[in-house]
Structure 1
Amino acid sequence: MPITNVIRSSHPPCRRQALIACAVRSTLALSACGSSALYAQDTTTPSPPAQTGQAASNAARPEKAKNLDAVTVTGSLIRRVDTETSNPVLTIDSSQIAASGKPTLGDLVQQLPSIAGNATNPNIDNGGGTGQSAVSLRGLGSNRTLMLVDGRRLAYEDINSIPANMIERIEVLSDGASSVYGSDAIAGVVNFILKDHYQGVQLSSDYGESSHGDGNRRNFSFLAGLAEKRFSLIFGTTHQSENEIGAAARDYSRYELALTNGQIVRLGSSATPTGQLENANGTYVTLNGGVPGITTQADYHPYTSADSYNYQPYNLLQTPQERTNLSMRGTFKIGANTEAYLDTFYTKTASASVIAPVPIFANSDDFLISKDNYYNPFGINFGTDRVSGQSYNDFNTRLTSLGNRDYANQTYDLQVTPGIRGSFGDSSWQWNADFNYGKVRQKTENNGFLDYAGFEQAVGPSFLSSAGVVTCGTAANPISNCTPINIFNINDPNTIAALKKLIVNPVTTYDYSMRQFELGANGELFDLPAGPVNLAAGFSYRHETQTDGTDTPSATAISNGPLAGLCGVIEDCASVLSGGYSVKEAYAETLIPILANQPFFYALNLDIGSRYSRYSLSGSTTNSKIALEWRPVQDLLLRGTASQVFRAPNISELYSGTAGGALAATDVCDGYTGGHPQACANVPTDGSFQQINPQIGVRSSGSVPAGYDLKPEYGKSYDLGLVYSPHWVQGLSLSADAWRIHLNDTIVDGLDPTTIMNECYYSDRLCSLINRAGNGQISFIQLPTVNLGETWAAGIDSTIQYNLATANYGKFNLSLQSTYMQRYDVDTAPGDPSVPITHCAGTYCPVYGEFPRWRGLATLNWSEGAWSASWTMRYIGRTQVGSADLSQGYSADESLPGVVHPIGAYVYHNISGSYAFAKYHTTLSVGIDNLSNKQPPMFYQWGSNSNTDAYTYDLIGRYYWMRATLSF
C-alpha cells in the first residue's frame, strides 16, 4: 500500500526548496480564496493529521506552510510535497461530501463525468437488490476500477458501506495503474482516505423525501475522537435507511413500453394468470375470466396482446435498504520512530427486492404437461419431455395465487487491518507492514418460488381412481405423496391449495475472504543537481477464497451439464461452488528529478514504476509505467504517462455458482429462412418462426464451460495532459487530459444473450451456449465468463476551477469538470469481418451502457460568515438509441431496421444551504435535488424495465432533504 507520512520526520526539507515554494504558493492562494470546489483537481493540499470537531486547522498559515509534509497521492508510491503530479487525480474532501447532501457515497461518486456504462446502484430494477453501488470509470466496468481505503484493497466493493463521517477525502485516479496497485486498476482507482486523527464529538441526523411523498430516507451518524501525544482513537457509527419506490409510482414506468412500427405500444408477458396455450391447430388461446373448476375448450378465447400480463407494478425504482456501520481507528506510538495502528470496519446491510409472481413457460422450462393429465381439456402434450428431448405445444401461465417473489438480502462486511510503521531515525526513509483481512457474507432468502420436481409430477399423467380421487401417475403406476394440479385453471381454490404445498423458499449464500500481507518502504536514495532521487519498493501476498452455496436439496441432484444445481422454475436457486487463488507481488517506483530552475525547465521529472505479479492460477506478469512531468515555467505543468495494464480473472469470474433468470432479448432467428444451422437449430426455414416470449431464460455462471480457457486481459493506457495555474489570476486553475485505453482478451463476466446469439449466427462461435427446444424456441442460454476480443476507449477530461474572495460578498468557488468520450469500441471477433465492431461513443449500447459524448459537472459554492450555499449542475449530453448503420444490427424500433431514437441533453440542478449556530455548535442544512423535477428520457424496450437508463438518469424526481449537525 502507499505509505502516508503520519510520523513526522525531523529531517529538514532544504533539498526540496524549489518544489516546496511552489506548494506553499498554491496553499496560500487556496487559503485566501476559500475551500476548494466539488471535485477540484490536483489543487487541494492534504490536510494535517490533527483535526477537531470544529474544524480548527493551521494548515493555511504561511509559517506552517513552510513545513509541509510529503504524502503519497493516489497513483504513485512516492511521497512528495507536490499536489500536481503526472497522475490526473480528482479530490473530494469531507466538507464537499457534507455539502452534497447525498445519503450514500455511491450517490455522490456516480455523478462524476468520468463515470459511464453500467455501474450497479440501488435504482437498477431487479439488479440493485443488495443496495450496492459500484464505480465504472470510463464505462469499462466496476471490475476494472479498483476500490481502495487508505491505499488498501476493499474486500467488498460496495462504496455505500464506507462510513462517510470517517472520510477525510476521496481521490479518484482516472488512469491505468496496474504497475502501482496490480490487477483491476485498468480504468483507474477510487481511494477513500480516512481521518487519521479527530478531537471531539460530532452528531448528525438527516431526513429526506421525494415530492411524491415516497422514497423516505433517515440517516444518523456519530463520530468521536481523542488525540493525545502517544495515541489516538476514532470511533464512528452510522445508520442509514431508505424506503422503496415502486415502478407503478411514476407515470413513465407503470408499463413496459416498446417502439414498434413507429408506434409506442405496451408490452406484457405471455405468461398470464389465464394462460397462453397453443392448441392442436397451432393458434393460441387463453382462459375466459371467472371459469370455475375443470375447464373445457369452450372456456377459451383467442389470445391477443390485450391479454398479456403487466409485471411492471412489481418492479422497484429504488431498493429498500437499511445499513449500519461501526468503525474504529487507533494508533499508538511504540517509540520515537515507530507506531502501531489498527483499523476496523464492520457493516451490516439489509435490503430487498420484489418481482412478479412465478412465470411458467413449459417449453423453456423443460417440463411436460401430459396429454393424459386428468384436467387437460385439449388432449395434447404441452412443453418438453426432458428424457427424449421432444418438444410439444407451448403452454405459458403465471402463478399469481402464490403471490410475488421477493429476495431478502443480508450482507455482512468486516475488514480489519493491524499494522506497524515507522521511519529510520532522522533519515527520509519510512516503512510499513500490515495485514489486511476482509470477510464478506451475503445471505439471500428467495421467497415465493416453486418446487420444480414436485410440480412436474403434479402436472404429469393423472387419473380418477376407483375411490373417486384424482391421482398422480397412471392406474398401473400411481405416484404416492403427489397431488395432481389443475394447471389449466390456476385460480381454482383446489389448484391454489395444491400449488401452495409446493412453495419453496430457498436460501443462497455467498462467502468471500481476503488475506493480504504487505511490506513496503520509501525514501531518498541520493541527490542529483535537480534534487533527490526517490524510491518506493515493497512486497505483497494476497489470498482470496469464495464459496457459493444453497440450502435447496435439488441443488445437488443434478451434478453435471448446463442445468447443474438448478431447481424450482428457472431462477429460484443456485449451485454450490467454491475455490480460491493467491498472488505474490513485488513492486518498485522511482522518481528522478532531471532538471530544475533552468530556462524552460522550471522542473523536469521522470517517474518509472514496475510490478511483478505471480498468480497461482493465471501465471506471472510484469507491468510497468513511465511518466514525465515538465514545468517549462512555474505556472504550467505538462504531463504524460504510458502504462501497461493487466487484470487477472477475479474470484467471482472464476468461482461463482450457476444461477437462473430471464432477460429481455430478441431471438436472432426470428423470420429465419436458412443458412445458419448452428444458431437456429430446430427452427423452420420458411420464415414463419417468431419468438413467443420477449424474455429468454438464462443460466449465468462464473465457472468457465468446457472448451473456454479463461485468460487474463491486458493492454495499454496513455494519458497526456496539462495543468495551468496562472499567477496573474489568483485562484484560477485549468487542466486537460487526453486519455486512451486499449484492452486485449477482454474478460466478459456473464455474456448477454444478444452477444451470444450474434456470435453464433455470424461466426459460428459460442453456439454450444444456446439451448433450443424441439420447436426452435430458446429454452435457455448459458452466460459464462469468457475472453472476448478487444476494447478501445479514448477521450478528454478537463477542469476549470476558480476561487474568489470578496470583502463584502463572501467567498465564491466555481468548478467545472467535463469528459468528452471520443471512442468506445468493442470488437468481439478481431480479424473476422463478418462480426461488426460495436461503436458505443455517443450512443446507448444495450450491452455496455450509455456513452454520451459529453458529460459535465459544475458547482458554485458560496460562504459568508455563518451562511453557506451550493448549486450543482450535472450535464448528460445528447445520445441516441439505435443505429442507422445496419451492420450494427441495433434499431430503436423492434420491427424496423436502422431506426434511431434521439435522446436530448439533460441538466440536473441540486441546491443546498446551511447556517451555523456558533453558540450551540450546530449547523442546519437543507437542500433540493433535481430541482426542476425532470423525468428521465424514454428508452422503451432498450432500457431496463423502467423504460429508461437507470444507470445514468435520476428516477425519483424532485427530492427534499434536511440535516442537523452538532459538534463539540
Structure 2
Amino acid sequence: MLKKSILRCGVFLPALIIAGTGIASAQTPVPDEGASEPETVVVTGSRIRRDPLQQDAPVVTLDQGAIAKTGLSSIADILQHLPSASGGLNSKVNSSGNFGNPPDGGGVGAGSAEIELRYLQAKRTLVLVDGLRFVNGASASGIPTTVDLNALPASMIDHIDVLQSGASSLYGSDAIAGVVNVVTKQSQKGLQASAQFGSYRQGDGHTQDYNVSYGLKSQGMTLVFGGSYVKQESILAKDRAISRYPSGTDDCHFSTSCSSATPLGRFLFTNPAIYNGSLTLKAPVSGKPRFNPLDPTGASSDFTSYTTANNGFNFGPYNYILTPSERWGLWTSFKQELTPNVNLRVKMLYNRRNSQNRAAFLPLFIGPGAGTGGPIDSVTIDASNPYNPFGTITPNDYVFFARRLVEAGQRTYTQHVDTMSLTGTLDGSFNVGDRHWYWDVNAVVGSNRAHQLFTGNVNAAKVAQALGPVSQCTSQCVPLDIFGGVGSITPAMLSYIGFDEHDASTQDMEDYTANLSGTIFDLPAGPLGVAFGYEHRNQRGSFTPDAIIQAGLGSDIPALASHGGYHVDELYGELQVPILADTPFFQSLEVDGSGRWSRYSTAGTNWTYTGSGLWKPVKDVLLRASYAHTVRAPSIGELFGSQSRFDQTLDVDPCSNIAGSPYQTSQTVQSNCSAHGVPADGSYKEVVSQVGVVTGGSTTLKPETSNTLLFGGVYSPSWARGTGLASVLSLEVNYYDITVNDTISSIPATTLLDRCAQTGDALSCAAVKRASNGFITRIDGVLQNVGAYKTRGIDVVFNYRTPLTSIGTFGLAANGTFLLSLTKAVPSSSGFTVTEYVGTENDGGPDQAYPHFKGNATIDWTGEAVSASFTGRYISSVVELQGGNRLNSRFYGDVQLSFSPAFLEKKVALTLGVNNVFNQDPPGCVNCSLNHFDPTTYDVPGQYGYARLSYKM
C-alpha cells in the first residue's frame, strides 16, 4: 500500500509541474543567502501572508534555544511542560500495556508520546508538520487517534508553534483544543551536531541523545539532511520510595491497594458445601494441599482465610517508573528552484522506535469473576486433578480462583515501531497586474507499522484442559497445580499453558492539498487578503492481536482484530479585511473570517467556521477576539475498534459492606444494591482495586462539535524600548471558553457505579455486571456521543529582555494558565450528571490532574562566552476525586550553564544542567493507576543532571 501511495505521489507532482501556475504556499519561505526576509509570511493560525506581530490568534513558539534550555530528549516532554498542556502519554506512563485499551476508543500508544491541550484529551489537539498532516501513531495495541511525537527526529526541528485556539476551519478535523505545528529545517549552512548524556542522581535513567545535520547550497538548490539517536534507560519502581508499594503504603498489611492475585492463591467460594468465602494458603506446599471441610482454616488444613489487608500481593516494585526507549531517525529536506517562480520541495523521514512496558507476574484469574468473556470464565476443576484438594469444582461453586504466576516471570510488552513519511511540494508565485499571489500543492504519504511481543501470558483453553479430568490431559498436556503456592507450577506446566503473544497494528495516510493566497484589491486601510484551497485525505488503520487472543483464549487483556478507514474531501476559504488604519484610536482595525466544508465517507457533510477581529487603538496595544465553530469527526478506532478491556483503578465499590463504603451509611444505597443483585444480607465485603471496563467503537457515532470564544490583548510599550530599558517587553493575556458537544466517550466506570448505587439509575445499573455474590465482573463502556465538555481559563505570557550591556543581556520569560472551570456532563435516566474537575485529580482512567494554576518562568543571562538560566515550574494543589486525598502543590527548578569560548569562534558549546534541582518528589496519589503518582503531570522523582557538547559550523 505504501509503494502504491508513493507511486501516486510520483505521478501527482509531475502533473502539477506541467499544469503551470497553481496554488498558495502553506510554508514559511526560506530566503536565499543575503536576501532580505519577506515582509509577510504564513504563520500558524492563518493561510494568508501577514506580519507575525499582527496575529489574530495566540501562538506560543518554542525555538531551538528554548528547546535546548530544557535538557529534555523528547519533544513531547518539552511540550507537556507548557502550562496550557495537560498530560498525554509519555515515557513515565507504564500502564499502557498491562491495563489494556483505555475507554476512549483511541487505542493505546504504548511507548509513544502525545501532546494534549486544554484538558480536552490528545485526540482533540491537531499535530502538523510544516502545516501539513502527519500519519498517526500505532503501537500494536489498538488504532490510536494521535500523532506519536517520538516519531519526529529532534535534529530536523527548527521550531514549534503552538496555536492555543480552535482552528478546524483552516486545518480540518481534530483542531478543537488547538494546533501544534512542528516546523522543520529547510535551510542550513554546514554542520550542526550535539551529543548529550544525562542521568538521575540515583544512578539510573541514563539517557544518550545524539543529533547531527548538514546543509549545503548551490545555485537554485538547497539540501539539508540529518539523523538523531536517543537511548533512554529505565527506572524501576522499586528504586524510588514513592513507588515501592501501591498507594504509598509501607507494605501490603492493612492496605486495600495490593492485589488479590497472590503467589499463594486466592480461592473465593460461594458453595457452602465446600466453603463460603475466601481462602489462601498459609505457606507453599509440596503436592496436594490439605483441606479439612470441617475445619477449613484450622491446624489440619493448609489454608487460612484470605483478607485483603493481610494477604494482598505487592505488585509495585515490578513496574517501570521510566520506560526504556531507543529511537533513531533519518531525514532529508530538498529544495530545487525549477524556474525563478517555481520550487520543488521534497522531505523524507524514517524513524524506528524500540520501547518496552512491563508489569508484575501474570495474575491468573479463572472462574465467572474473571470477566474475560472467554473459556477461562467457565472452568471446571476436576476431582481427578492430582493437586486439587476440594473435589470437583464447577462454575456454580466459586466466583474466581486467582494465582500470581511468579514462575512465569514478569510480563513484558516490547514494541518495534517504524514510521515513514514522504512529502512532495510544488510552490511558487505569480503576478496578476500589480498583485502578488502565492501557491502551493502538496502530497504527503505516511505509514506506521508496529509490532509488539508480550511475554508472560497463558492459553486459557490449555489451562482449562490442564485443570480438567486427567483422562483428557493427553499428548503434551501436563496437569496444572494452581493450589500449592510459589514453586508449584513447574517448567513443564508452563511450557504447555504459556505462549508468546504477537500483536501488530498499522496506520496509513495519503493527504493531497492545494492552496492559493494573495490580495484582490486595496481598501482605504490596506489590501483585502484572501486564501482558499482544497484537501483530499485517505486514512486507514488496523489492529491485529495474536490469533490466540482473537480466539478468546488469552488470560490477560482480551481483544479482537479491527480495521477500517475513511476518506474526506474539503474546501476552505479565508478572508482578511482591513477596516481602519493610522487614525486616532484605530492604529489598525481588521476582521478576519474562514470557513471549511468537509465531506467524510463515514461522517457525512459538515461546516466549520471562524470569525475574528483585531484592533490596535494605539501602536503599543493589540486587542483581539474570535469565535470558532469546530468539528472532530470520529476516528478509525472510535468507529471500527473492536471490543477490548481496560482495567480501571477504583477507590471503593459503593455496594461493598466495608468501612468507608456508602453501603454502611445509606439505606438507599443498600436497597439499590440489593435490587441490582448484591446479597441483601451484607455478605458482600469485597475491596475492588481494579475493575474490567469493556470498551469498543461504534459506526453510529456522529462528529463532535465545539464552540470556542477567545479574546485578549498584547501590550508592548515602545517607550520602554525607546528609553533603553528593554529590547523586548510585552505582556499578553487571553481568555478562552470552549464547549464540546456530543463528545465521543464512554461513561466513566465510577460514575456508573455511583449512580446505580445512589439513585438506582437503570442505564447505569444495566452497564454494571455482577456475579451472584455481588462481585463486579465487568462494566460496559462502549463509545457513545454521551455529553459535553466545557472549559474556561486565562493564559498570561510575559517577555522581557534588556538591551546589550557591558556584562551581557538578561531576560525573563513567563507563561501561565489559570483554569477557571472544566466540567464534563454525562447522561443518566433522569438527565445529566455534571462534574466540575478544576482542582481535582481524576485518577485511574487515565490519571489526569486539573490544577487551578500552572506556570513556567525562565530567567536567563547571556554574556560574551557564558550563559546561564533558571526555569521554575509551578503546579497548584489538587484533590483526588476518589477518596479526597490532597496532592500538594509542586515547584520544580531547572538550572543550566553554557560555555562557548571565543577562541573557538563560538562554534563549540559545552552545556551543563540539572532539572529538578530542589529534588522535589511528586505528590502521592492514592488511586492513580501505578507508582503512586500521576505521570502525566509530575516529574520522575530525583534530580536529573546532563552534559551536552554541541558544534555549529
TM-score (norm 2): 0.86
Mapping of residues 607-646 of structure 1, within 5 Å: 607-646=592-631
1:907 corresponds to which of 891, 905, 912? 891
- Equivalent residues of 2:90, 2:112 under 8 A apart: yes
| Gap runs ≥5 in structure 2 | 1-26, 98-108, 137-146, 292-300, 371-376, 658-662, 722-727
Superposition map of 1:736-747 within 5 A: 736-747=733-744
Q: What SS does structure 2 have at the residue aligned with 1:107?
A: helix
Pair 1:360-2:364 in alignment: yes
Match of 1:869 in 2: 868
Q: Is the 8 A contact 1:458 1:472 kept in 2?
A: no
Partner residue in 2 for 1:438 = 446
Distance verdict in 2 for CA 1:753–1:378, change over 3 Å: farther
Are 1:537 and 2:535 an aligned pair?
A: no
Partner in structure 1 of residue 306 of structure 2: 303
Q: Determine the structure 2 residue equivalent to 1:771.
A: 769
Q: Name the counterpart of 1:123.
A: 92
Structure 1 residues 297-350: Cα deviation after superposition (integer angstroms, max 9, x where no partner): 111123233321111111111010000011110011111110111111111000
What percent identity do the matched residue pairs reach?
A: 32
Cα 1:645–1:718 shift into 2, 3 Å: same
Change (3 A) 1:167 1:492: closer
Query: Are the structure 2 counterparts of residues 302 and 914 from structure 1 closer, same or farther at C-alpha, using a change threshold of 3 Å?
Result: same
Equivalent residues in 2 for 1:639-718, closer than 5 Å: 639-665=624-650, 666-671=652-657, 681-701=676-696, 703-704=697-698, 709-718=700-709
Counterpart in 2 of 1:351?
Answer: 355
Is residue 552 from structure 1 mapped to residue 547 from structure 2 by the alignment? yes
Residue number among 754, 777, 788 corresponding to 2:750 in the alignment: 754
Q: 1:264 to 1:184 in 2, by over 3 A?
A: farther
> Matched residue of 2:53: which SS?
coil
Q: What is the one-letter code of the residue matched to 1:808?
A: S
Change (3 A) 1:580 1:164: same
Shift of 1:505: 0.8
Any idea what SS the aligned residue of 1:499 has? helix
Q: Partners in 2 of 1:216 and 1:456 — Cα distance?
A: 44
- Following TM superposition, the consecutive aligned residue runs of length 4 or more in structure 1 with deviations greater than 6 angstroms are 673-680
Letter matched to residue 335 of structure 1: T
How far apart are the structure 1 equivalents of 2:763 and 2:554? 30
Aligned equivalents of 2:754, 2:46: Cα separation in 1:
42
Going from structure 1 to structure 2, the CA distance change for 1:146 and 1:373 (only over 3 Å counts) comes to farther
Distance 1:679 1:574 in 2: 32
Residue aligned with 2:369, SS: coil
Q: Which amino acid aligns with 1:913?
A: L
Question: For this pair of structures, how many residues does the alignment match?
Answer: 859
For 2:248 and 2:921, the matched residues in 1 are separated by 18
Give the secondary-structure state (helix, strand or coil) at the position aligned to 2:862: strand
1:523 matched to 2:531? The reply is no
8 Å Cα contact 2:29-2:41 kept in structure 1: no
Query: Secondary structure of the equivalent of 1:455?
Result: helix
The Cα of 1:196 is off from its aligned counterpart by 1.7
Q: What code does the residue aligned with 1:754 have?
A: T
- The yes-or-no answer on 1:928 pairing with 2:923 is no
Q: Which amino acid aligns with 1:441?
A: R
Distance in 2 (CA, whole Å) between partners of 1:209 and 1:647 is 41
CA distance in 1 between partners of 2:706 and 2:673 (Å): 33
2:54 to 58, 67, 84: 84
- 1:290-439 alignment to 2 at 5 Å? 290-297=284-291, 298-304=301-307, 305-362=309-366, 363-365=368-370, 366-370=377-381, 372-375=383-386, 377-379=388-390, 384=395, 390=396, 392-425=398-431, 427-439=435-447
Taking the aligned partners of 1:175 and 1:377, their CA distance within structure 2 comes to: 63
Alpha-carbon distance, 1:656 to partner: 2.9
Describe the superposition over 1:218-241 as per-residue Cα deviations: whole angstroms up to 9, x where unpaired: 011110011222111110100000
**Does the 8 A contact of 2:875 with 2:890 survive in 1?**
yes
Instruction: Decide which moves more: 803-812 or 723-732.
Output: 803-812
Which residue does the alignment assign to 1:891? 883
Q: Does 1:842 align with 2:845?
A: no
- For 2:510, what is the secondary structure of its paired residue? strand
- Alpha-carbon distance in 2 for matches of 1:654, 1:780: 22
Among candidates 82, 88, 92, match of residue 112 of structure 1: 82
Q: Distance in 2 between matches of 1:106 and 1:381?
A: 54
Worse overlay, 903-912 or 523-532 = 903-912
Any unmatched runs of 5+ in structure 1? 1-45, 52-56, 385-389, 463-470, 558-565, 883-889, 893-900
Partner of 1:3: none
Within 5 A, what are the aligned runs for 1:249-288?
A: 249-257=239-247, 265=255, 267-278=257-268, 280-288=274-282
Secondary structure of the residue that 1:829 maps to in structure 2?
strand
Match of 1:455?
463
Matched with 2:144 is none
- 1:129-208 → structure 2 map (5 Å cutoff): 130-156=110-136, 157-208=147-198
Among 209, 223, 229, the alignment partner of 1:219 is 209
Report the 3-state secondary structure (helix = DSSP H, G, I; strand = E; otherwise coil) of the residue aligned with 1:729: helix
Aligned counterpart, 2:480: 485
Shift of 1:574: 2.9
Evaluate the alpha carbon distance shift between residue 480 and residue 774 of structure 1 in structure 2; reply closer, same or farther with a 3 A threshold. Answer: farther
Given that 2:549 and 2:559 are in contact with CA atoms closer than 8 Å, whether structure 1 keeps it comes out as: no
Q: Decide whether aligned partners of structure 1 residues 831 and 757 sit closer, same or farther in structure 2, where only a CA change above 3 A counts.
A: closer
Report the CA distance shift for 1:545/1:397 in structure 2 as closer, same or farther (over 3 A). same
| CA offset digits 1:242-285 (Å, max 9, x no partner) | 0010111100110002799xx98463111111111235332322
Structure 1: distance between partners of 2:595 and 2:397: 58
- Could you list the per-position Cα deviations for residues 800-828 of structure 1 after superposition, in whole angstroms to 9, with x for gaps in the alignment? 11110242221111111110000000110
Distance in 2 separating the partners of 1:333 and 1:250: 56
Q: Distance in 2 between matches of 1:959 and 1:82?
A: 36
Q: CA RMSD in A?
A: 2.5
Cα 1:679–1:948 change in 2 (3 A) is farther
Instruction: Please state how far the C-alpha of 1:111 moved relative to its aligned partner.
Output: 0.3
Whole-angstrom distance in 2 between the partners of 1:145 and 1:191: 11
Deviation at 1:202, TM superposition (A): 1.4
Matched-pair contact (CA < 8 Å) for 1:636–1:723: yes
The SS at the match of 2:827 is coil
Q: For each residue in 1:822-876, what CA deviation from the matched residue of structure 2 results, as whole angstroms up to 9, or x when unmatched?
A: 000011028945x531110122123572111111010112111111111111110
- Structure 1 pair 668–290 and aligned structure 2 pair: CA distance change class (3 A): closer
Question: In the superposition, relative to structure 1, how do residues 155 and 377 fare at CA in structure 2: closer, same or farther (>3 Å)?
Answer: closer
Task: Say if 1:402 and 1:500, in contact at 8 Å, map to a contact too.
Answer: no
Q: How many Å apart are 1:440 and its aligned residue?
A: 0.6
Which moves more between the two structures, 840-849 or 443-452?
Answer: 840-849
Once the 2 structures are TM-superposed, how far is the Cα of residue 180 of structure 1 from its aligned partner? Answer: 1.0
Report the equivalent of 2:105: none
